[in-house]
């Protein structure tokens, strides 16, 4: 309802002024008019924003699902590897245990065989000693598992002729390889030829069987020295009980070995 007031008398009339605010205006000021295309644009923009948010969420969900799947596959693979390693470890333990048992069995067998070997060696040594003593010819002396012939007292010859005498007896000049044998051979005469020389090559001392002299502990101090320039044959003396090089032409007693 509207009320009109006369411009002159203040009375209400038909040509009065409308006190209601005109369209698009309020008592506080102008109200902007929003057109339809602005509303449509806002709706579209909101839809696009919603679609974008949903896409991001979907992408993140897919990525998380893919990552979870990868983690599960990795865990399954590691679990399978662990089980495989456990099985391999158990197999190695079994193999190690079996090998330990085999080693223990072999060690036991080795000890038994070694003991049997040592016993047989003792029996062989005894038999050799018995045989040597039993088979030594008259005039020969038994020592260890060998027989020795010492030249007649007072008879002396050069190294070469002494060896010739031994060879004619089916033997050869003595080959001395142990301290006990050295003591045995050297005690009969003051000086005795033995089967050692460096006639073929100076400084290379060789036994009559072709084997080289091993070590130098049986030489007298300072020997061999080849002081005369032709000391190519070895002798042993009762006093020194060690080897000494002298000229092969000297005449000594000799010891044969069989």
Q: How far apart, in whole angstroms, are the C-alpha atoms of residue 174 and residue 148?
A: 8
Residue 71 DSSP SS3: helix
pLDDT at 13: 46
Q: How far is CA 21 from the centre of its chain?
A: 109
Of 50-54, 180-184, 212-216, minimum mean pLDDT range: 50-54
pLDDT at 135: 77
Q: Which residue did the predictor score with more confidence, 85 or 130?
A: 85
Q: Which residue, of 102, 117, 135, is where some domain finishes?
A: 135
Interval 70-78 mean pLDDT? 87
* 123 within 8 A of 116, measured Cβ to Cβ: no
Task: Please say if the pLDDT value at position 255 is more than 90.
Answer: yes
* 238 within 8 A of 148, measured Cβ to Cβ: no
Same domain, 131 and 185: no
* Domains in the chain, number: 2
Q: Which residue, of 87, 107, 135, is where some domain finishes?
A: 135
Task: Please say if the pLDDT value at position 138 is more than 80.
Answer: yes
Same domain, 195 and 119: no
Instruction: Choose among 205, 192, 258: nearest CA to 232.
Output: 205
pTM, two decimals, is 0.51
Write the CB contacts of 248 (distance below 8 Å, at least 6 apart in sequence): 158, 159, 160, 197, 199, 230, 232, 233
* 79 within 8 A of 71, measured Cβ to Cβ: no
Q: Which residue did the predictor score with more confidence, 40 or 97?
A: 97
**pLDDT tens profile 205-217:** 999 999 999 999 9
Please give the residue range of the domain that contains residue 104. 41-135
Structure tokens at 109: 């067998």
The continuous run of DSSP H or E covering 245 comes out as strand 243-246
């Amino acid at each position: 309802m509207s009320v009109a007031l006369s411009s002159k008398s203040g009375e209400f009339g038909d040509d009065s002024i409308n006190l209601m605010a005109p369209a698009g205006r309020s008592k506080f000021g102008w109200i902007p008019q929003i057109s339809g295309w602005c509303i449509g644009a806002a709706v579209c923009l909101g839809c696009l924003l919603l679609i974008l948010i949903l896409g991001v969420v979907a992408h993140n969900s897919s990525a998380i699902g893919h990552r979870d799947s990868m983690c599960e596959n990795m865990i399954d693979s590691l679990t399978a590897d662990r089980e495989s390693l456990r099985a391999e470890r158990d197999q190695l333990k079994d193999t190690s245990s079996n090998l330990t048992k085999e080693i223990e069995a072999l060690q036991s067998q080795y000890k038994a065989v070694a003991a049997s070997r040592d016993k047989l060696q003792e029996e062989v040594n005894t038999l050799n000693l018995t045989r040597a003593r039993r088979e030594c010819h008259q005039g020969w002396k038994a020592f260890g598992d060998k027989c020795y012939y010492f030249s007649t007292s007072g008879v002396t010859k050069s190294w070469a002729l002494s060896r010739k005498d031994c060879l004619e007896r089916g033997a050869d000049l003595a080959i001395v390889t142990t301290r006990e044998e050295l003591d045995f051979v050297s005690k009969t005469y003051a000086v005795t030829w033995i089967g050692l020389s460096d006639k073929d090559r100076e400084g290379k001392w060789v036994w009559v069987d072709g084997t080289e002299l091993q070590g130098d502990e049986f030489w007298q101090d300072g020997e061999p020295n080849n002081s005369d320039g032709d000391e190519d044959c070895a002798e042993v003396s009762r006093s020194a009980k060690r080897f000494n090089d002298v000229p092969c032409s000297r005449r000594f007693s000799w010891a044969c070995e069989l």
